């Protein structure tokens, strides 16, 4: 069951000319309110805890999102409730010839007109059946990541059974506005690390004279529940008896 509760952390890193701050928007996928160690002490989320309790952080404890990806993300980028966009029902499926209607402008498009460089790394899930629906045609200058959802964290492949048809294939792309390319070089690498490293690389090459908007949309902790083996039996997590909860930890 895909119950995608998405939590959002916005970190304003530095301030340029007072009114054009750099913006890093990090989204965790299916990360519930209770899946952090300051709400459930049996878990172990030290980095989130540090971010959440920074003196510059505002925690929105009564903010709500839709129950799955596409409605939530479409509202986030368009500023409209999903029922205005027609995205309220469910996520965009692999064989669905659909995306968020193009008359709705996504806000990174507007940030570009203010002089921002715009980047996205991670999971899109707002339509992919034609180029016009893709991140680099909706405000992002560079994109690396998944078009859809529920990929394997290591192979970056997705599959879906639709009646007698099974759709299966790689879902990892490296796009600019002009070029759209499947990227096989990340096979075998864990997506959280891949996305983090891609983000660091893009930011290191960013022209510091301009402000940036960076959307980092992690796959974790969405199903399938996969994590790097080296962390699996860490002392804190091994105390948890429920297997899925231990993986989340
Ligand atoms: C990410 O970068 C670190 C530091 O350079 C490196 O050790 C690690 O192997 C990289 N991971 C992936 C998945 O590329």
Element (H, E) at 216: strand 212-217
CA of 42 to the centre of ligand 1 (A): 28
For the chain, give the percent of residues with pLDDT over 90. Answer: 67
For residue 120, pLDDT beyond 60 = yes
Of residues 101 and 231, more confidently modeled? 101
Q: Identify each DSSP E strand in 2-141 by its residue range.
A: 7-12, 23-28, 117-123
Domains of the chain, earliest start first = 5-248 (3.40.720.10)
- Residues having CB within 6 Å of any atom of ligand 1: 189, 193-194, 197
pTM: 0.89
Distance 199 CA to ligand 1 centre (A): 12
pLDDT one-digit tens code per residue, 76-118: 999 999 999 999 999 998 888 999 999 999 999 999 999 999 9
Task: Report pLDDT digits (tens) over 146-199.
Answer: 999 999 999 999 988 878 888 899 999 999 999 999 999 999 999 999 999 999
SS3 137: helix
Q: Whose CA is nearest to atom 3 of ligand 1?
A: 197
Most confident listed range (15-19, 79-83, 159-163, 234-238): 79-83
Specify the pLDDT at position 228: 81
């Amino acid at each position: 069951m895909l119950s995608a509760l998405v939590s959002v952390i916005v970190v304003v890193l530095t301030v340029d000319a007072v009114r054009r701050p750099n913006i890093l928007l990090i989204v965790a996928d299916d990360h519930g309110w209770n899946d952090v160690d300051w709400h459930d002490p049996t878990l172990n989320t030290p980095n989130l805890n540090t971010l959440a309790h920074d003196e510059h952080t505002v925690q929105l404890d009564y903010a709500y999102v839709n129950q799955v990806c596409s409605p939530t993300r479409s509202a986030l980028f368009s500023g409209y409730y999903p029922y205005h966009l027609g995205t309220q029902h469910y996520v965009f499926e692999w064989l669905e010839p659909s995306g968020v209607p193009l008359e709705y402008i996504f806000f990174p498009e507007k940030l570009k007109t203010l002089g921002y460089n715009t980047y996205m790394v991670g999971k899109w899930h707002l339509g992919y059946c034609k180029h016009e629906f893709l991140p680099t045609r909706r405000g992002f200058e560079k994109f690396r990541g998944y078009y859809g959802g529920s990929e394997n964290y290591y192979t970056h492949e997705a599959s879906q059974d639709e009646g007698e048809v099974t759709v299966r294939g790689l879902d990892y792309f490296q796009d600019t506005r002009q070029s759209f390319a499947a990227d096989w070089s990340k096979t075998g690498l864990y997506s959280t690390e891949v996305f983090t490293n891609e983000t660091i690389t893009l930011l290191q090459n960013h022209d510091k004279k301009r402000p940036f908007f960076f959307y980092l949309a992690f796959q974790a902790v969405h199903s399938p529940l996969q994590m790097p083996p080296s962390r699996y039996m860490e002392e804190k997590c091994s105390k948890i008896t429920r297997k899925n909860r231990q993986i989340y930890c």
